[in-house]
Amino acid sequence: MDGKTLSISPDDIYSYHKLPIVDCFFSKEEVTVTLNVPIKRQVVNWCVFDIILTKFANNNQVRDLYPQDVKLLAVGIEKVVLID
């Protein structure tokens, strides 16, 4: 599958029964079932960074550069995620 793997292990086949991943189409002559099997990239590299809050003065007020509730930043190939 060219760098991709199944999101759900073949050993855990019963998990597929719980997911809404099947479409069924009926006609008078035939039934078509489409199964959308979830796949993911085999290698997903994430880097996690601590966010150091920086305060600065602006118009006689002290401001924060980042929100107080965010502590970590995870950076992947296609996505950046803030973690609190």
Torsion angles phi and psi, residue 59, rounded to 5: 55, 50
CA–CA dist 31, 42 (Å, integer): 33
Cα separation, 54 vs 8, in Å, equals 41
User: Partners of 24 in the beta sheet?
Assistant: 33
Chain centre distance of CA 36: 17
The answer to pTM > 0.85 is no
Query: What local confidence, expressed as pLDDT, does residue 67 receive?
Result: 59
pLDDT of 18 above 90: no
The vertex-24 CA angle with 23 and 26, nearest 5°, equals 155
